[in-house]
């Protein structure tokens, strides 16, 4: 299958923009540049479109999309104990599937091409990745709450790795998902690290999200969450750490030493009042810092362009430096750094040989006028509703705002049905 | 002219939502409730739509939309002196008109029904309000930079008041617009206050936007900007103060005493790294706090839903309180408080007798699924691209995403033409 994207404004790796063609052969980009001799099966008209790498959502819980707007504006523990956990306990495999399908519709329509997910019953989310055509980095959330609950989840994670790592024509990879240091004791984390190393698997884990978590970790183990990850051997695996809001300089040095990657979630951190992660410091230290939406219970959407914008705005005001996280750096966090953060080495930029995950924004609207600087327009002015066409691994998932792999009406119907059932008194 | 909005989900004044009708007679709401006996000239199908009060953009510079993406990610003085001021100097009346027309297209499409504007050649912006059907609160920006420059602008502001206060069937009101304490010396501010009082006009002014401004004001006059406004008599007029980022407790007490209103601009304050205004404190003190986008050079769009979302998110993380500025309070800042802030007493809520400025959001998309809480969905999940229908003073300006008063294609063409001319070397 060969596709030619003809005459688009293409965001190049150096941050410049050029009006040119993108030739796609199979799952990869064959050429960026004049390709009038490329014999394509499909031609996509790129005129008036801005071609950017597909967004990488480096931390989410797709199936939780079923809980969108169920409970907001509450204190964390009240929210978790009295709202989220009771309704999550009612979610069955069918709900997991349709919740993730609802997420898939939203992700494709807003330009996300890869998502890193941690939740339960992840084989259902793998099915969604296969059915939708999205790229997914999946991990079973392993929470040591119920007796032996973590053992079952640990086994499920091993099975998920065996069954789905490399599935979906290579679009699915699997990590281990120990939930967090406050839900997984050190000895258990050691066993997870061993299991991951045996399989050369990586680890996706929540780290240092709140001040309280860090204080408790220091009290219980005499170490920060990051230092505890070193001690337990987790940092010897490739690690994708979600949040990383409350960090010491020593933590950042450790993260750099072990090449740990961060999924920064500005929207969630703001809404849950978790704090502001030291992103300019992390970037300066050379720690790969990507962006995630977190689940829609704490966001409440899966709009990566919004996270890119928040990353660009929040750190400017936090550091009182208008040059902090410039527009192009925020785009890289949502694309190139995102790919690296979730462990995908051949992804995240539009260049020859890379996997063809490409999004076309329609620049026809008022918010794209006038066009002095397309990267600035994308980051500070545009809407994810301007996403027109989405390609993953060389296959079109959406063209001219029409979904090609999913039946949107059906998905919304089924998601509403599931939401009604789990929320029924 | 009578219009019936039939069977919409209507946001009521207490924050609850009811599926019912809105009967509009002339420029006002005749009834909120079952109106099947209302004989209407036009019926708007409200099924699947969320009816909310039109957004009030309490601080912007509409014509600057022509400069969108011209210069970003720079230090303030470098940006102003080397980029913004030189290009603004090239703007003629034709540019002011088409810049504001471009803004009008964007505002209507994103649900804004009233805008408070401060800039030059404001009679051209008044024309845009008349032509587009938007509601506008206009003031001539009076900057004492060039010798006698402020005298000419002062005279223009008086003429603007004489010519346009109450124009456009009452949709236009005029304020005085002394730019800021650092651009208008105290004696001049005294004269502006006198002129405003003579006419019972109100004042729109930038106040306490940056730390540096407050420090200089203390050094030059021994007073904070707010206290200086008391001394010069400005606070005796009704005052709409833009930004108000750096405030003392005494400032807040003065603001409350004089019933000063604030236009908070979270997007601009974040992008320019100005700081975080003490919004929860202002709201607690009973100071009317509204929302604005500021100009698109420092935002870079006119999307009020984005400002509502930022207000809800930013103050949670700033105060580390997840209950700070809840969703409905953020909506009020963008609607009800906005109307009060710009001096319009009969506007900002959907209830009988109020001016009929109403926006319908299409709730058909994935981000509106499932629907546990419509206010939460609006504030935390929706996109302004979901705005479907817009009414101002009982007249439809947009229906089913189609502009009824403006020729979008023509406006974008003319705006591009103007932008090209002023940016030519």
Any idea where the domains of chain A sit in the sequence?
2-53+354-403, 55-341
pLDDT tops 90 at residue A24: yes
pLDDT tops 70 at residue A102: yes
Widest CA span of chain B, in angstroms? 66
Facing residues of A55 across strands? A112
**Token pair of B275, please?**
């700081």
Neighbours of B316 (CB within 10 A): 23
pLDDT of residue A80: 86
**Closest-CA residue in chain B for A387?**
B385
Residues 71 through 90 of chain A touching chain B, CB cutoff 8 Å: 71-76, 79
**Closest-CA residue in chain B for A321?**
B273
pLDDT of residue B148: 63
Q: From the CA of A331, how many Å to the nearest CA of chain B? A: 14
Q: Which of B365, B374, B385 sits opposite A383 (nearest CB)?
A: B385
Q: From the CA of B365, how many Å to the nearest CA of chain A? A: 8
Looking at beta carbons, which residues of chain A come within 8 Å of B367?
68, 106, 301, 303
Cβ contact, residue pair B376, A317, below 8 Å: no
**Closest-CA residue in chain B for A379?**
B300
Looking at beta carbons, which residues of chain B come within 8 Å of A411?
366
A415 close contact with B: CB closer than 8 A: yes
On average, the pLDDT of chain B sits at 97
Q: From the CA of B407, how many Å to the nearest CA of chain A? A: 12
Q: Which residues contact B166 (CB under 8 A, 6 or more apart)?
A: B172, B173
Optimal mutation site among B62, B73, B271, B307, interface A, most CBs of chain A within 10 A: B73
Q: Find out if CATH 3.30.1240.10 is the number for domain A2-53+354-403.
A: no
Q: From the CA of A298, how many Å to the nearest CA of chain B? A: 9
Burial of A225 per CB tally in 10 Å (0-12, 13-18, 19+): buried
Cβ contact, residue pair B301, A380, below 8 Å: yes
Cβ contact, residue pair B370, A415, below 8 Å: yes
Q: What per-residue string of b and e applies to A57-79 under the rule 16 or more CB within 10 Å gives b?
A: bbbbbbbbbbbbbbbbbbebeeb
A334-347 average pLDDT score: 98
pLDDT of residue A143: 85
Give the domain A55-341 fold. Answer: TIM Barrel (3.20.20)
Q: From the CA of A396, how many Å to the nearest CA of chain B? A: 20
Interval A272-296: pLDDT, tens: 999 999 999 999 999 999 999 999 9
The architecture (CATH level 2) of B55-63+107-341 comes to: Alpha-Beta Barrel (3.20)
pLDDT tops 80 at residue A397: yes
Q: Which residues contact B273 (CB under 8 A, 6 or more apart)?
A: A316, A317, A319, A320, A321, A322, A324
pLDDT of residue B111: 98
Identify the CA nearest to A399 among candidates A109, A99, A136, A92.
A109
Report CA dihedral (A120, A122, A125, A129) to the nearest 10 degrees.
150
Cis amide prior to A78 (ω within 30 degrees): no
Task: Judge whether B394 and B371 are in contact, CB under 8 Å.
Answer: no
Cβ contact, residue pair A273, B109, below 8 Å: no
- Note whether A2-53+354-403 and A55-341 share their fold: no
Interval A200-235: pLDDT, tens: 999 999 999 999 999 999 999 999 999 999 999 999
Per DSSP, B346 falls in state T
pLDDT of residue A145: 58
| Positions of chain B with pLDDT lower than 50, given as ranges | none
- Say which CATH superfamily domain B2-53+350-403 falls into: Urease, subunit C, domain 1 (2.30.40.10)
**Closest-CA residue in chain A for B273?**
A317
pLDDT of residue A425: 79
pLDDT tops 80 at residue A146: no
Task: Judge whether A138 and A188 are in contact, CB under 8 Å.
Answer: no
Cβ contact, residue pair B299, A74, below 8 Å: no
- Work out the pLDDT band at A361, boundaries 50, 70, 90: very high
pLDDT of residue A148: 63
Cβ contact, residue pair B317, A419, below 8 Å: no
- Work out the pLDDT band at A147, boundaries 50, 70, 90: low
Residues 194 through 213 of chain A touching chain B, CB cutoff 8 Å: 211
pLDDT of residue B150: 78
Q: What is the ipTM of this complex?
A: 0.98
Helix (H, G, I), strand (E, B) or coil at B395: strand
- Work out the pLDDT band at A76, boundaries 50, 70, 90: confident
pLDDT of residue B146: 53
Cβ contact, residue pair B324, A383, below 8 Å: no
| Its pTM surpasses 0.90 | yes
**Token pair of A336, please?**
């190139």
Interval B164-198: pLDDT, tens: 999 999 999 999 999 999 999 999 999 999 999 99
């Amino acid at each position: 299958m060969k596709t030619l994207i003809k005459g688009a404004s293409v965001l190049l790796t150096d941050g410049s923009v050029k009006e040119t063609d993108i030739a796609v052969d199979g799952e990869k980009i064959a050429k960026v540049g004049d390709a009038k001799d490329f014999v394509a099966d499909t031609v996509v008209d790129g005129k008036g479109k801005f071609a950017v790498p597909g967004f990488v959502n480096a931390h989410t819980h797709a199936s939780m999309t079923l809980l969108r707007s169920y409970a907001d504006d509450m204190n964390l523990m009240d929210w978790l104990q009295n709202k989220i956990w009771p309704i999550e306990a009612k979610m069955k495999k069918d709900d997991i599937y349709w919740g993730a399908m609802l997420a898939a519709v939203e992700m494709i329509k807003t330009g996300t091409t890869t998502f890193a997910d941690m939740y339960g019953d992840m084989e259902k989310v793998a099915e969604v990745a296969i059915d939708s055509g999205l790229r997914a980095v999946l991990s079973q959330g392993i929470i040591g709450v119920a007796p032996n609950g973590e053992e079952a989840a640990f086994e499920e994670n091993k099975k998920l790795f065996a069954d789905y790592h490399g599935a979906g024509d290579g679009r699915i990879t699997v990590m281990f998902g120990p939930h967090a240091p406050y839900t997984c004791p050190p000895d258990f984390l050691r066993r997870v690290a061993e299991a991951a190393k045996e399989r050369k698997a990586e680890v996706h884990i929540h780290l240092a999200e709140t001040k309280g978590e860090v204080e408790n970790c220091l009290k219980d183990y005499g170490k920060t969450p990051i230092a505890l990850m070193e001690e337990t051997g987790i940092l010897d695996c490739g690690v994708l750490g979600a949040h990383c809001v409350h960090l010491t300089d020593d933590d950042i040095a450790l993260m750099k030493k072990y090449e740990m990657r961060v999924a920064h979630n500005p929207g969630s951190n703001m809404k849950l009042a978790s704090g502001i992660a030291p992103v300019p410091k992390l970037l300066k230290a050379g720690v790969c810092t990507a962006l995630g939406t977190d689940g829609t219970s704490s966001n409440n959407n899966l709009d990566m362009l919004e996270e890119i914008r928040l990353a660009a705005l929040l750190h400017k005001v936090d550091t009182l430096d208008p040059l902090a996280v410039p527009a192009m750096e925020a785009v890289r966090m949502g694309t190139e750094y995102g790919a690296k953060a979730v462990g995908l080495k051949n992804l995240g930029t539009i260049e020859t040989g890379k996997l063809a995950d490409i999004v076309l924004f329609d620049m026809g609207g008022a918010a794209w006028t006038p066009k002095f600087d397309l990267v600035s327009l994308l980051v500070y002015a545009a809407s994810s509703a301007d996403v027109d066409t989405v390609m993953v691994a060389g296959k079109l998932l959406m063209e001219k705002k029409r979904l090609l792999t999913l039946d949107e009406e059906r998905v919304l119907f089924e998601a509403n049905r599931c939401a009604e059932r789990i929320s029924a008194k």
